[in-house]
Structure 1
């Protein structure tokens, strides 16, 4: 029975009994990480409606419905049945668009969540514990404080605890610390046990046993563990908006303010210009003002962006990048900083021998054979006849190095008998084995060079020089020495055995970079993306890897340690953050500070990682990228994207795809805002010129939906051939509508407005029988047939022009130089839009609903051809401008 006055009473030989298990579970809690309550499906659906643009559309729908109800109640007797139905169509069409978008977003979110669940693989599901004096297997989540847990090589540790008995225990703790090297724990027996609380005697939940065996007493479970503390950091990190969501939010506010302003201006213009100050036409002025304000809202933006993002997410998935939420796909296109974990992300997370130094008196074979014999690692052939290594990463590296030289441990073990050993411990920093061969007995000792140099008889400056040389390259160096014995000494202790040794040589190893990472970092650099290494490893190791990968290229690239970071204020960090290429020996809290410091510089930050220690920073980053294979459950939950192949290079491929998505969204926005501004200018200017609204609200909505939707989706399917990775990323606070985009929108809108109003005038003149402007204007006020024919001509002209815009906006190349397969989507979309446009205009039952009428007396038989002729003018004009620009570039 052992007792710690600050803790509890424990029987190390029997463990807890059933009653104590229940009491401890009640007092200390279950061994589960606290999970956020799952959001019900209905609530997820409702959350899709909180996007600013969606709210604006809902307001528009509400206003439109209010107008329809008002007209029905106050002026119902003055309208036909068709006019009443028409007035109610607009709000429900807008509502349909909003609901469709919400369904799209919900489907993608659920699909991603199911994929994440299938990737979960954090901890061992069962653990071996001592209870009621017997060893039993229980679910890891059933462990309680006070349990005695038994562990050995291959086990995942299920809770935090203190060692009470251990031998040669080696634990891989990279998911908590980020360090690639495993940690040796103190050898403890029942006689040497005490309640000492330090890194050498503690074990932690989620870490893996590499070598040895142990018993430990559970001191912390669930959220009280180190693992749980990091998980709690995630809960404190709130949900963030992606750059796209932030920019659309800002844009929506501006559109909302503009719509409100336009509503007031339009009302005043109508009352004082069109109605000549007649306030009796107040209601009609309100209807026109609100109709025009609604026309400024790009109804197609949200659903079509959703479609573009869905298509992009599907493409990313085929490239091993699983995106959990749609807006994150666009965020990739703006990434300017990639903060990457080192171990397992930039490196292979396995040691490799890269340097050796052998004393001239020994052969290479003797050197390798002795090193192999002084290891506990081994290997076997699997079903595919492939060699699988088992054991500590340092020792498996030695075994692999030997295999590459055709030296096989299994064969050596049959020839050389291991007859005794002195296990490794962290104080001596070495281990010794006794080997018997041909009736001769040898001890072989391997360990840290400084430890072995002190006890060797043939140590010389060459050994020291090579040790310094290897260390300067951030290699982990091991020294090897031997000694021949007549008999095994009776007193097998370090002082008696490990002295007067003969040094054979040194071996240097490192966790090597992934082969493809260097190229990916170079591609990212050309794209204006800075790669920053953030690791829990030591400065010199991190620096060496960073230099090899060219993350560090010159003297100005700083390496900052967690120790230095800790004494820095946030303001001091913000001042130097752009100079730092490597952060070493950092904590989870440090990683969040680093990410947020970059964000203060208006950078879009991506954080990659696989460990629990990476999770808080993954969540804080603009786009967190977790590893799908080696990544922990906590990191996958925190991330926006999961790399299913654990490959850093997938990030660069994903950024490239993200830029294509962003490119298509920008083209879409030019297209949509041209459509909206054209409808707005045509209506507003037309009202000023002709004293009447050229387009009804339903016509505007129909143009917005039909002329936007199919061509807009086609732009989303566009696969541009431009090398977008040559462009620099945008600043985080950069407007989604840049100056060049706004100029294009304005020019295209003015051209569309001019041609549409001219077509309106020609249609009215044709019905009136004269080209007299004043006569046409007066007739439009009095004769509905004239208005309906003119409106139809304007409607068809605008519909054709706006649908064709998708073809000219698809690429900066001349249309005649583009292959049919490249433009097939936009061409097909134009055909579909055009076909849908015609029945509304030319089938009487439909045209009446839309306040149009083609079947009236016409002054000129050529008037039906005007919209089709005018519709081609913009596309021809743009092609001419493109030709001029190409000629200028060639000069």
Structure 2
């Protein structure tokens, strides 16, 4: 063969065949000339950079919204009609909304830069039979790389030598425990997490040393493949954006209907066509809730601030609401459901006499170290030291009393480690191997032969621990390796966080399906899932990566709600799982911390990265970052997302009801041939004083009582359902009838002038709308009076707006522009009655409905 190539599935190829495929004669490595030639063919061992998005594109993106287009059209019409103040107010709202969105969402897409940072700079390579230190970018297929504890693997390759080699592959596979490596050839269908004869870019050597034959570099590595997938993933449309776009279409239809209706009725009543057209346009502009984009953006921004206090950092605004729409949470196990701290959860000790000796062996046959500041070593060995310390055995004292003379490192072929001391040999290893190697056992405080019956009993105990998802270790001690006494077994596991069980139950109440997606073994994952309530005995099942590989997205969609655990997965699996769930109509939140999670995080409706354990790659691909890595924080964030959407919906209903009442007041005056009940500038003032402050205060409303007791919104559910549209028509009509009634009373029975009646109508409508903000909530104040003060900001906002409305009657410029004068106490009393009647009617209606 004249040239080598980038290899795939090199785990199942024999060492001799590997050398042949890579056109390599032996482990002396490539010649410098051949390496240079291959570098020209394959290119540098690095990942391609994605083109950076300039800041101005992020800014322009804020203006690409149907609602912004409608507001811009309204501003243009206002300028044509001479209402420059109205147009200016609309433009200011558009700009403020854009600036807030830009400042919150502007983040450079640095996922590939983060991936590149994981590729080490200098590596030890054998070239021309000599060890050389080279930049990792110069590695090519066929290079032989030397690795030892502390090194980061620079390329993908096959081990040709391994001495007690263990590698932390959690960033790639999600498995929490370092993987012991071997040089054995594996079956072709071996899944990536089980390919113990291979090393992958970006993983870290934690123990031992070895030689790796480079088989793939750059974009052909697993890390490179993930980066390629990451570039191809297009972020899905955010549900809130889709809902606002649909709402905007509804609003456009409503505005056009208002214009046509006003013009038609006005002309039929004998008014001039041009005058009525101008009136219709003016009312159409008034009907558009100019403050909605600002209120929605500020509600989301305030939600982002609140979520930061909940330890959830949000990278883009709309993801807050999307999280509230979540119907499925795909959660990682390690560090999210569990503590990411290996812990001895159960111990089986041969006898009381063996107890002290077992703890001594656990400390002596151990290379880890712990102190108050940090811990160093294999997580399982660290767990043993902590276990010993918690049981009154000080590791430092034991090691001083029994110094180590020699060590046999852990060897995967004999499946044990041994340390030599003055009084004997301490051994730990796989229970099945030690039970075979031991000749004696401490029973009833006496050393007795280890019978086959006892061996079988201990094997049953070990199997029981394994079925509980625990990793088992056995301990022995003796004068020599041929005279070992069996001491006992411990079960080690990464335990679940205390609050997870309650959080999972909360998800169930909220109609959210939780799926544990992990790189760990099925047995371990199922044990944890059952312990925290994700999985039960009522039909939910567990799948592994091999089964997912055989399923298509349609089958995943069909079985979406039947699966609780998916184990032994790798990047394509997670991506496929998310797409399948989305095909089933689910809104998917995916958590992750490793490189292997990045593609799925980007594809998910909401990607949630871990802030403590997460890689920079996962954080850059995510929408939300958890500062504490807790599953409970996700559930709290879901509740916050639901609260935010509820409050945005309240604001929409409030704004449309208020604007509809204004339209009906003007329309009713024309229909009944009354004097103008509202002047154009009075309509503008009403929108300014009643829209922004109360609607914004609504965003601070606490959650409704049933926030986490109801199912998620359907994916296709609009901001305003048919029921909400009917409610808006009813509420707007009640406010209109109240204002119309008090105006007719002022004209017909009190004999007020048309100008005074217009002012009464003006003030009454303002106060009616301010009082109405309390009727937007689901429950009636007559049933729950305390609700009036449950949001003090709303109460203070309404009070401030009322005082402002009174104050303008004494300010000359407002008196001239709005054609108003100070009212007497009796006249204010009439206004107050006119405003309270609609509020009382609406609250009584809610009381009768039983809410």
Verify the 8 A CA contact 1:420 1:435 in the aligned structure 2: yes
The counterpart of 2:594, out of the listed 600, 611, 615, is 611
Q: Determine the structure 1 residue equivalent to 2:802.
A: 834
Question: How much does 1:369 deviate?
Answer: 2.5
Q: How has the CA–CA distance of structure 1 residues 33 and 62 changed in structure 2, closer, same or farther, with 3 Å as cutoff?
A: farther
Note the alpha carbon deviations across 1:422-480, whole angstroms, 9 max, x for none. 54444x26034252424xx64x5543334444555534321222122222212222334
Q: How has the CA–CA distance of structure 1 residues 125 and 872 changed in structure 2, closer, same or farther, with 3 Å as cutoff?
A: farther
Structure 1 CA distance, aligned partners of 2:25 and 2:403? 41
TM-score (norm. length: structure 2): 0.85
Structure 2 CA distance, aligned partners of 1:461 and 1:708? 77
Q: Determine the structure 2 residue equivalent to 1:709.
A: 692
The counterpart of 1:62, out of the listed 59, 70, 76, is 76
Q: How has the CA–CA distance of structure 1 residues 651 and 256 changed in structure 2, closer, same or farther, with 3 Å as cutoff?
A: same
Verify the 8 A CA contact 2:46 2:116 in the aligned structure 1: no
Q: Determine the structure 2 residue equivalent to 1:592.
A: 575
Q: How has the CA–CA distance of structure 1 residues 741 and 484 changed in structure 2, closer, same or farther, with 3 Å as cutoff?
A: same
Q: Determine the structure 1 residue equivalent to 2:316.
A: 325
Q: How has the CA–CA distance of structure 1 residues 390 and 843 changed in structure 2, closer, same or farther, with 3 Å as cutoff?
A: closer
Q: Determine the structure 2 residue equivalent to 1:406.
A: 392
Structure 1 CA distance, aligned partners of 2:464 and 2:607? 38
Q: Determine the structure 1 residue equivalent to 2:368.
A: 378
Verify the 8 A CA contact 2:556 2:581 in the aligned structure 1: no
Q: Determine the structure 1 residue equivalent to 2:327.
A: 336
Question: How much does 1:609 deviate?
Answer: 1.7
Q: Determine the structure 2 residue equivalent to 1:746.
A: 729
For residue 394 of structure 1, give the secondary structure of its aligned residue in structure 2. Answer: helix
The counterpart of 2:793, out of the listed 800, 803, 825, is 825
Q: How has the CA–CA distance of structure 1 residues 136 and 878 changed in structure 2, closer, same or farther, with 3 Å as cutoff?
A: same
Question: How much does 1:314 deviate?
Answer: 0.7
The counterpart of 1:252, out of the listed 248, 251, 258, is 248
Q: Determine the structure 2 residue equivalent to 1:559.
A: 542
Q: Determine the structure 1 residue equivalent to 2:60.
A: 46
Structure 2 CA distance, aligned partners of 1:35 and 1:347? 35
For residue 561 of structure 2, give the secondary structure of its aligned residue in structure 1. Answer: helix
Structure 2 CA distance, aligned partners of 1:34 and 1:622? 26
Q: State whether structure 2 residue 205 is matched by structure 1 residue 209.
A: yes
Question: How much does 1:145 deviate?
Answer: 6.5
Q: State whether structure 2 residue 459 is matched by structure 1 residue 474.
A: no
Q: Determine the structure 2 residue equivalent to 1:782.
A: none
Question: How much does 1:167 deviate?
Answer: 2.0
Q: State whether structure 2 residue 792 is matched by structure 1 residue 792.
A: no
Structure 2 CA distance, aligned partners of 1:127 and 1:583? 37
Structure 1 CA distance, aligned partners of 2:268 and 2:181? 88
Verify the 8 A CA contact 2:472 2:491 in the aligned structure 1: yes
Alignment of 1:558-577 (within 5 A): 558-577=541-560
Question: How much does 1:753 deviate?
Answer: 0.9
For residue 49 of structure 1, give the secondary structure of its aligned residue in structure 2. Answer: coil
For residue 690 of structure 1, give the secondary structure of its aligned residue in structure 2. Answer: coil
Comparing 209-218 with 94-103, greater Cα deviation is found at 209-218
Verify the 8 A CA contact 1:416 1:435 in the aligned structure 2: no
For residue 814 of structure 1, give the secondary structure of its aligned residue in structure 2. Answer: coil
Alignment of 1:681-700 (within 5 A): 681-690=664-673, 694-700=677-683
RMSD across aligned positions (CA): 3.9
Alignment of 1:652-731 (within 5 A): 652-690=635-673, 694-720=677-703, 722=705, 724-731=707-714
Question: How much does 1:32 deviate?
Answer: 4.6
Q: State whether structure 2 residue 593 is matched by structure 1 residue 579.
A: no
Question: How much does 1:20 deviate?
Answer: 8.3
The counterpart of 2:500, out of the listed 511, 517, 522, is 517
Q: How has the CA–CA distance of structure 1 residues 106 and 448 changed in structure 2, closer, same or farther, with 3 Å as cutoff?
A: same
Comparing 538-547 with 553-562, greater Cα deviation is found at 553-562
Question: How much does 1:556 deviate?
Answer: 1.2
Structure 2 CA distance, aligned partners of 1:320 and 1:698? 46
The counterpart of 1:437, out of the listed 392, 408, 422, is 422
Verify the 8 A CA contact 2:429 2:474 in the aligned structure 1: yes
Q: Determine the structure 2 residue equivalent to 1:448.
A: 430
Verify the 8 A CA contact 1:335 1:605 in the aligned structure 2: yes
For residue 50 of structure 1, give the secondary structure of its aligned residue in structure 2. Answer: coil
Structure 2 CA distance, aligned partners of 1:600 and 1:337? 12
Verify the 8 A CA contact 2:368 2:378 in the aligned structure 1: no
The counterpart of 1:806, out of the listed 773, 783, 789, is 773
Question: How much does 1:835 deviate?
Answer: 4.5
Verify the 8 A CA contact 1:446 1:478 in the aligned structure 2: yes
Note the alpha carbon deviations across 1:769-791, whole angstroms, 9 max, x for none. 969xxxxxxxxxxxxxx765554
Verify the 8 A CA contact 2:643 2:704 in the aligned structure 1: no
Alignment of 1:626-645 (within 5 A): 626-645=609-628
Structure 1: which 5+ runs fail to align? 69-83, 189-196, 276-280, 486-496, 772-785
Structure 2: which 5+ runs fail to align? 5-15, 185-192, 440-449
Structure 1 CA distance, aligned partners of 2:594 and 2:284? 51
Structure 2 CA distance, aligned partners of 1:6 and 1:866? 95
Structure 1 CA distance, aligned partners of 2:378 and 2:386? 12
Comparing 359-368 with 291-300, greater Cα deviation is found at 359-368
Structure 2 CA distance, aligned partners of 1:747 and 1:5? 81
For residue 182 of structure 2, give the secondary structure of its aligned residue in structure 1. Answer: coil
TM-score (norm. length: structure 1): 0.81
For residue 342 of structure 1, give the secondary structure of its aligned residue in structure 2. Answer: coil
Structure 1 CA distance, aligned partners of 2:688 and 2:282? 15
Q: How has the CA–CA distance of structure 1 residues 11 and 557 changed in structure 2, closer, same or farther, with 3 Å as cutoff?
A: closer
Note the alpha carbon deviations across 1:787-838, whole angstroms, 9 max, x for none. 6555433322211211222244468363894399745422332243335445
Verify the 8 A CA contact 2:545 2:568 in the aligned structure 1: yes
Structure 1 CA distance, aligned partners of 2:244 and 2:479? 77
Question: How much does 1:5 deviate?
Answer: 5.5
Verify the 8 A CA contact 1:299 1:705 in the aligned structure 2: no
Structure 1 CA distance, aligned partners of 2:141 and 2:295? 54
Count residues in correspondence: 812
Note the alpha carbon deviations across 1:84-128, whole angstroms, 9 max, x for none. 4xx233223212111110011112124x77999999997487544
Q: How has the CA–CA distance of structure 1 residues 853 and 645 changed in structure 2, closer, same or farther, with 3 Å as cutoff?
A: closer
Structure 2 CA distance, aligned partners of 1:412 and 1:861? 89
Verify the 8 A CA contact 1:10 1:16 in the aligned structure 2: no
Structure 1 CA distance, aligned partners of 2:788 and 2:109? 39
Note the alpha carbon deviations across 1:526-566, whole angstroms, 9 max, x for none. 33333221112222111111111111122312112222222
Q: Determine the structure 2 residue equivalent to 1:783.
A: none
Question: How much does 1:582 deviate?
Answer: 1.2
Verify the 8 A CA contact 1:839 1:846 in the aligned structure 2: no
Structure 1 CA distance, aligned partners of 2:438 and 2:29? 46
Q: Determine the structure 2 residue equivalent to 1:349.
A: 340
Q: Determine the structure 1 residue equivalent to 2:837.
A: 873
Structure 2 CA distance, aligned partners of 1:174 and 1:821? 50
Verify the 8 A CA contact 2:361 2:428 in the aligned structure 1: no
Q: Determine the structure 2 residue equivalent to 1:531.
A: 514
Structure 2 CA distance, aligned partners of 1:597 and 1:679? 48
Verify the 8 A CA contact 1:274 1:688 in the aligned structure 2: no
Structure 2 CA distance, aligned partners of 1:361 and 1:841? 90
Q: How has the CA–CA distance of structure 1 residues 695 and 40 changed in structure 2, closer, same or farther, with 3 Å as cutoff?
A: farther
Note the alpha carbon deviations across 1:476-496, whole angstroms, 9 max, x for none. 2233445644xxxxxxxxxxx
The counterpart of 1:548, out of the listed 531, 541, 545, is 531
Structure 1 CA distance, aligned partners of 2:741 and 2:411? 91
Q: Determine the structure 2 residue equivalent to 1:290.
A: 281
Structure 2 CA distance, aligned partners of 1:6 and 1:120? 29
Verify the 8 A CA contact 1:160 1:202 in the aligned structure 2: yes
Q: How has the CA–CA distance of structure 1 residues 699 and 28 changed in structure 2, closer, same or farther, with 3 Å as cutoff?
A: farther
Q: State whether structure 2 residue 153 is matched by structure 1 residue 185.
A: no
Question: How much does 1:174 deviate?
Answer: 1.9
Comparing 301-310 with 229-238, greater Cα deviation is found at 229-238
Q: Determine the structure 2 residue equivalent to 1:153.
A: 149
The counterpart of 2:51, out of the listed 37, 55, 60, is 37
Structure 1 CA distance, aligned partners of 2:488 and 2:389? 19
For residue 650 of structure 2, give the secondary structure of its aligned residue in structure 1. Answer: helix
